[in-house]
Structure 1
Amino acid sequence: MPEIPFSEAVIVADDGMPIAHVDFDRLQSDAVRYMYEIACTAGDGVATDAVGAKWAMANSPDYFGYLCAAALSLMVRNILAPTLDVAAELGVDLRPGLKSACAAALRDLGGKQ
Structure 2
Amino acid sequence: MTIGMIESIYASAASAGLLKEVVWIIDQAARPMLAQVGFRAPDENLLDGLAMGRDYTITYPASSLAGLKARARLSVDGQAYEVREVRAVGDGLECRATLMRLS
Structure (1 or 2) with the larger CA radius of gyration: 1
- Tell me the TM-score normalized by structure 1: 0.27
More strand by share: 2
- Tell me the TM-score normalized by structure 2: 0.28
More helix by share: 1
* Greater RCO, 1 or 2 (C-alpha within 8 Å, sep 6+): 2
